[in-house]
Amino acid sequence: MVRLFVGIATLLSISGCSADIDDVAVPAVMTSPTPASFTELNSALGRLLTMDSVQISDQAFSGTSVITLERTAHQDSAGKLIMGRSHEMPITVQLMIKQGKCFVIVDNKAQSRQLNNVTCKAL
């Protein structure tokens, strides 16, 4: 009787742990990227960073879950820097997956946005 109780308790505790694992976001990489997925990704990052536009490489998130973004330096019509050196820190963005849904997180703002047209897999 005691063995049966211990076996049932162990089974219940293991099944409880596996449910918690699915609720945790894990780093991910993009799978089957399309122009629509990059359009959504650029748009989501623009909204998160309150920028008019964000352009990332077609290789972003293909081999790593983290990318670093920098603002474009202000230039005059001749291409010379207007403001000189920028002391603004680069922005780190991470692609994550949780319960089969992909989303991006901006580390320095602790904000995230779900991506509906992006497919990804856990690392």
Could you tell me if residue 35 is inside a domain? yes
Could you tell me if residue 4 is inside a domain? no
The number of folded domains in the chain is 1
Could you tell me if residue 63 is inside a domain? yes
Annotate 73-104 with b (16+ C-beta within 10 A) or e (fewer): eeeeeeeeeeeeeeeeeebebbbbbbeeebbb
Instruction: Calculate mean pLDDT across residues 72-80.
Output: 79
* Assessment of whether the complete model's pTM goes beyond 0.75: no
Domain around 40: 30-70+89-122
- pLDDT exceeds cutoff 60 at 4: no
Could you tell me if residue 10 is inside a domain? no
